[in-house]
Every structure is written in C-alpha cells, then in structure tokens.
C-alpha cells in the first residue's frame, strides 16, 4: 500500500484487514473474557465478550487448584536452560560443521539434515526407554536433554551452520593474522557477528520448549514437576471434564512470557521464521 492512496482506498484496506484479523484475534479475546466468567456463563447463549459478573477470583483459584506457580516456574526455568544450552551447543557444532574440515563432516551434516525429516513422535518410545534406563523418569532432565539434542537441537545447529557458512572467510583469516586461536576466532569474531542467528535460534528454541506437551506427558507423573502445557490440561473436575473458566485464566497467564518475548523481539521473530524456513 503506497502513501499516495486516497483516504477512501485506505479506509477500505484497513476495514478489510480488520475483518481478516477477527478469526485470529477473537479466540484470544474469548480466552481473556472466559478467564473472568463463571463456568455456566461461558456456555450461555449470549456471545458477549464482556462478562455479566466479573470473576477475578478465577485467577486465584488457578493457583489453589494445583501448584500453578511452581509449574509456571518449571516451564520458565526449563525453557531458559534449554535455550541457553541449545545456543551453546548449536553455535559450537554449527561452527565446526561450517568451518572445520574433518573426515566425515559431509556425512554428519547429511545425517543431521535427515534427522530433521523425522517426526518427533516417532522417537518418543525409544526415548522413553532410554530415559527410563538412565533413571531420569519423573525428572525434568528429559525435557531439557531431548530438545537440546533432539530435532530442535538439530534444527538450531543447522541454522547456525548456515549462518556461519555465510560469514566472509577473510574475517577469520584476518583474526588468524591477528593471532587468535581457532576457539578465539569463534568466540571473538564469529559469535559476535552471528547475533541475528543466535537471536533467531534463541526465540525458536524458547517457544519450542515453552509449548512442549508430549514429553512432559510421557515423562512426568508428579504434579509438582508439571510444566504449563501439561498443567493447563489438568484443570478438570471429578469426572475429567474441563473447567473452562480455570483453563482460560491459566492460559491467559501462560501466554504472558510469550507475549513479552514477542513484543520485545518482534523483528527477530519474523526474521527467525524467514531464516529457518518454518512457519510460525
């Protein structure tokens, strides 16, 4: 849209965009609205977003119903550890694959790329037995190790490798002339220059870990150890039916870090999806 368009055309554009946004924005508003409604009002025939009675106590109930604060903390620290670990491992591995010539590096890269093609669900049973054998059942370790060394880690390594490959080799040669070792070149030249890629990998990894559902479901049984996606599915009554008002309130709280990350790093997120070639 150019800035020379007439006000009428512009209004039409904005109107069309606003209509198109409804299917995306409405569920979010419905979630916020449901979070302060009673269970019965949610199912009332009225589709009003504004509740008849505001039930702010739903938020307090979320924390009484199960150890939600603890679960929130679990998700947060796991996501941070996974992100930090993935950045460390993927940058080192990506640099090695991009810059160091060693026997079998091509084959290794091919194996990594083929690993990207494999759906995660396929590996869940062998991973289950592996973690059981390692004595890591009902701990957070599978939730940390599997994203770091599994398909997400491979994706992160591949992205970093692609970025390092595109860095001009002359910069590293100049650093060699300046007296840096291989690790010095990585640490002082290649890594500071790969900040956009690190940001992209960091964001993708954080979102991946934050949204992880299957692994917590398979590996965790203690409610104190649950992460948010699993905790959200746990707001049910005695018959196993969802308590929608609590789920809505808990979900509203669960999206806060994601919203913060998104608002703080909007540009990098868009770039990261462009860089990774994956859809959001």
Partner 1 sequence: MAELTLSGVCKTFGSLQVIRDVDLQIEDGEFVVFVGPSGCGKSTLLRCISGLVDITGGTLEIGGQRMNDVPAAKRGVAMVFQSYALYPHLRVRENMGFGLKVRKLSKPEIDRRVEEAARTLKLESLLDRFPRELSGGQRQRVAIGRAIVGNPEVFLFDEPLSNLDAELRVHMRAEIAALHKRLGNTMIYVTHDQIEAMTLADKIVVLRDGQVEQVGSPRDLYYRPANAFVAQFIGSPKMNLFEASGLPADILQTARPSAAAIRAGLRPEDMQVLGAGEGPVSGRVVNNEYTGAGSLLHLDLDGLGRCLALYNGGDSPEEGAEISVGFDTGRLYWFDAQEQNTEVA
Interacting residues with partner 1 (CB under 8 A) = 168, 170-171, 173-180, 184, 189, 192-193
Task: Give the separation between CA 143 and CA 121, rounded to whole angstroms.
Answer: 14
Nearer residue to partner 1 within complex by CB, 181 or 266: 181
Report the DSSP beta bridge partners of residue 186: none
The distance of closest approach from Cβ of residue 186 to partner 1 in the complex, given in angstroms and rounded to an integer, is 14
Least Cβ distance, residue 171 to partner 1 (angstroms): 5
**Distance (Å, rounded) from C-alpha 54 to C-alpha 36?**
5
Which residue's CB is nearer to partner 1, number 99 or number 245? Answer: 99
Q: In the bound complex, what is the minimum distance in angstroms from residue 202's beta carbon to partner 1?
A: 18
Minimum distance of partner 1 from residue 172's CB (angstroms): 9
236 bridge partner residues:
242
| Residues 227 and 74: beta-carbon distance below 8 Å | yes
Q: Please answer whether residues 59 and 253 qualify as being in contact, where contact means their C-beta atoms are separated by less than 8 angstroms.
A: yes
Closest CB to partner 1 among residues 184, 242: 184
Q: Count CB-CB contacts under 10 A for residue 27.
A: 10
| φ, ψ for residue 242, nearest 5 deg | -65, 140
State in angstroms the smallest separation of the CB of 166 from partner 1: 13
Q: Which is nearer to partner 1, 117 or 177 (CB)?
A: 177
Closer to partner 1 by Cβ: residue 109 or 167: 167
Give the C-alpha separation, 266 to 243, whole Å: 33
Count of beta carbons in the 10 Å neighbourhood of residue 174:
13
């Amino acid at each position: 849209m150019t800035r020379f368009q007439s006000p009428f055309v512009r209004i039409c554009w904005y109107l069309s965009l606003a209509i198109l946004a409804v299917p995306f924005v409405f569920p979010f508003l419905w979630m916020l609205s449901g979070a302060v409604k009673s269970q019965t009002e949610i199912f009332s025939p009225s589709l009003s977003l504004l509740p008849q009675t505001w039930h702010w106590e739903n938020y307090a109930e979320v924390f009484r119903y199960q150890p939600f604060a603890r679960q929130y903390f679990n998700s947060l620290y796991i996501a941070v550890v996974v992100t930090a670990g993935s950045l460390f491992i993927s940058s080192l591995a990506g640099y090695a694959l991009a810059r160091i010539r060693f026997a079998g590096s091509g084959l290794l890269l091919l194996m990594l790329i083929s690993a990207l093609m494999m759906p995660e669900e396929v590996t869940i049973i062998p991973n289950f037995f592996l973690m059981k054998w390692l004595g890591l059942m009902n701990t957070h370790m599978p939730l940390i190790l599997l994203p770091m060394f599994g398909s997400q880690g491979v994706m992160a390594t591949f992205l970093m490798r692609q970025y390092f490959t595109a860095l001009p080799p002359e910069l590293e040669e100049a650093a060699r002339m300046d007296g840096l070792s291989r690790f010095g070149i990585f640490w002082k030249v290649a890594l500071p220059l790969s900040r956009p890629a690190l940001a992209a990998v960091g964001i993708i990894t954080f979102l991946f870990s934050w949204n992880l559902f299957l692994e917590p479901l398979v590996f965790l049984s203690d409610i104190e150890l649950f992460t948010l996606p699993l905790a959200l599915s746990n707001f049910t009554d005695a018959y196993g039916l969802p308590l929608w008002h609590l789920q809505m309130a808990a979900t509203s709280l669960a999206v806060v870090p994601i919203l913060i990350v998104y608002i703080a790093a909007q540009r990098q997120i868009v770039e990261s999806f462009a860089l990774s070639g994956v859809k959001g």
